Copies of this chain bind each other. A is one copy, B any other.
């Protein structure tokens, strides 16, 4: 049976939710106050999970210090204290919803981690709203 290990990190970002091809009014109907043209922001709480075999010698599935460094170097350094719409290449043409941010983080980290390990992302945008990607075992 496999074991999951999870590491929590945080980043604080500004963003605006809108579809560029839509009118301001239509964006307001769909995204409400999240469509504020001057942006708003969040303290994002990110939980990265790896699922695999525990090494019989070390007792580790993955070194949490190494995972923390991977997340900091590839995710936190890119998103923290940034405007997701303006300061990152990932959301130039992609709406920075929590769903999309989680998937982008998965796509950033996936090539950096041994393919034998399942990778899952959980992201809290607020204490009441969160997302997970992927949602199915995979």
Residues on A close to B: CB < 8 A? 1-10, 12-15, 17, 19, 30, 32-34, 36, 38-43, 51, 54, 57-61, 63-65, 68, 80-83, 86-87, 94-100, 102-103, 118, 126-138
Q: Known A30-B58, A99-B60, A127-B43; judge A135-B38 contact (CB<8 A).
A: no
A15 vs B8: C-alpha distance when bound (angstroms):
22
Copies in the complex: 6
Chain A facing B: main interface SS: mixed
Kindly list 12 other residue pairs between chains A and B, CB separation below 8 angstroms, not including A1-B135, A14-B83, A59-B99: A3-B103, A3-B135, A5-B129, A5-B131, A9-B128, A30-B63, A39-B83, A40-B41, A40-B82, A41-B43, A58-B97, A59-B100
